[in-house]
Amino acid sequence: MSPTTMVGALNAALRDSLRDDPDVHVLGEDVGALGGVFRVTDGLAAEFGAARCLDTPLAEAGILGTAIGMAMYGLRPVVEMQFDAFAYPAFEQLVSHVAKMRNRTGGRVGLPITIRVPYGGGVGGVEHHSDSSEAYYAHTPGLHVVTPATVADGYGLLRAAIASDDPVVFLEPKRLYWSADPPGGTEPAAGATSGAQDQVAPIGRAVVRRAGTSATLITYGPSLPICLAAAQAARADGLDLAVVDLRSLVPFDDETVCAAVRATGRAVVVHEASGFGGVGAEVAARIGEQCFHHLAAPVLRVTGYDIPYPPPMLEKHHLPSVDRVLDAVARLQWEQ
């Protein structure tokens, strides 16, 4: 039976990968008997043994450093970082070794490591449990950075990440872990490419979740449902908004994004992370460089504010909302 939640899809992808490839090994904190604090590794230790779903000491640099050595020997480690902000101790291993090993060894040593990171807010988490850290990773050459926003992509992208011969930072939107897919747009729009429930999704391809003619919303991960809801609401104002789900921040799919922007001439980039120096800035710059003559208005961004992630009682003001997205759409110079 196909999983109906993101957690179920991720669990199925790990189970199928462990079953299909004896080199795949899962390691992290509490991934064994507990099944991970989000239950993504539920049942894997029981099915495949403690060595293939390994509870490690509580030390993220050690986890990733150990995974590097395992990958050098020919295994295919899948690392779980327990939370976004708890992945930072592993940053040096990630930036100085994981991202660079293929390059610094002239292609002789590739590191097929998947680093799973639950990320983002909107779940009522206290301090250090809600960071959106994608820009740090996306800024590091040598890493692939992907983030699923649907159940099917949870499965398909994770299978692809584990199968990849390059390291992949796999960002899992916590607020989508247990929700069913949002209505109106999780299936790819006509002509777009995407995997079915049990298929591998290609890394490096964005997908048009909703076709539209008025303006294009570009988003990923936890903000996809917000954008789809905004597109639904905009119909009342006579606006037909397209929604692009990037899925893969690195490699970046210029082709799909630019085609979707050229089709409407207006674009808003939406993400939870702070705006300054964020992925949205890169997306806006790329659109400016490649679609300038098609634009009727500057590319706008709706992002988290440039503040440390707020306490949970205040996070609703920080996160992109349907109203903030619609306000941005309204500022796209519609008057002629």
Partner 1 sequence: MTLVDHSTSPDLVGPPHSHGPRRDAAPLLPDPEPVRVLGTEAAAAFDPELARDLHRRLVLARRFNQQATTLTRQGRLAVYPASTGQEACQVGAAMVLRPQDWLFPSYRDTLAVVARGVRPIDALTLMRGHAHCGYDPYEHRIAPLSTPLATQAAHAVGLAHAARLRAAANPAADEQLVALALVGDGGTSEGDFHEALNFAAVLRAPVVFLVQNNGYAISVPLARQSAAPTLAHKAVGYGMVGRLVDGNDALAVHQVLSDAVEHARSGRGPVLVEAITYRLDAHTNADDATRYRSAGEVEAWRARDPLTLLDAHLRAQGLLDDAGAAELARAAEELAGRIRAEFEAAPEPDPATLFTHVYAEPTSQLRAQAAELAARLADEADDPGDDPFHLDGDEFDSDNLTANDLTADGLAAGGVDDRGPDAGAGTTRGGAA
Binding residues for partner 1 (CB under 8 A): 22, 25, 50-51, 54, 56-57, 59, 61-62, 64-75, 77, 89, 92-93, 96-97, 100-110, 141-142, 144, 164-166, 204, 250-252, 254-255, 258, 262-266, 289-297, 333
User: Which is nearer to partner 1, 22 or 43 (by Cβ)?
Assistant: 22
Q: Strands, DSSP E only, in the chain?
A: 24-28, 53-55, 76-80, 114-119, 144-146, 168-173, 207-210, 215-219, 241-245, 248-250, 267-274, 300-304
Q: Give the CA distances from residue 173 to residues 46, 93, 161, in Å, rounded to whole numbers and listed in that order.
A: 26, 23, 16
The residue (of 12 and 99) whose beta carbon lies closer to partner 1 is 99
Residue closer to partner 1 (CB basis): 22 or 308? 22
3-state DSSP assignment of residue 138: helix
Write down the least CB distance from residue 94 to partner 1, Å: 11
C-beta of residue 297 within 8 angstroms of C-beta of residue 332: yes
The answer to whether residue 129 is catalytic is yes
Instruction: Tell me how far apart the alpha carbons of residues 297 and 269 are, in angstroms, rounded to a whole number.
Output: 13
- Shortest reach from residue 68's CB to partner 1, in Å: 5
Q: Which is catalytic among the residues 129, 144, 271, 318?
A: 129
Exposure on the CB side of residue 187, measured as CA atoms within 13 A: 5
Provide, rounded to whole angstroms, the least separation between the CB of residue 182 and partner 1.
28
CB of 106 vs partner 1, minimal distance in Å: 6
Q: Phi first, then psi: give them for residue 33, nearest 5 degrees.
A: -55, -40
Judged by CB, which is closer to partner 1: 180, or 330?
A: 330
Strand duo 241-245 + 215-219: pairing: parallel
Q: Are 169 and 144 in contact (CB under 8 A)?
A: yes
Catalytic residue annotation: 129
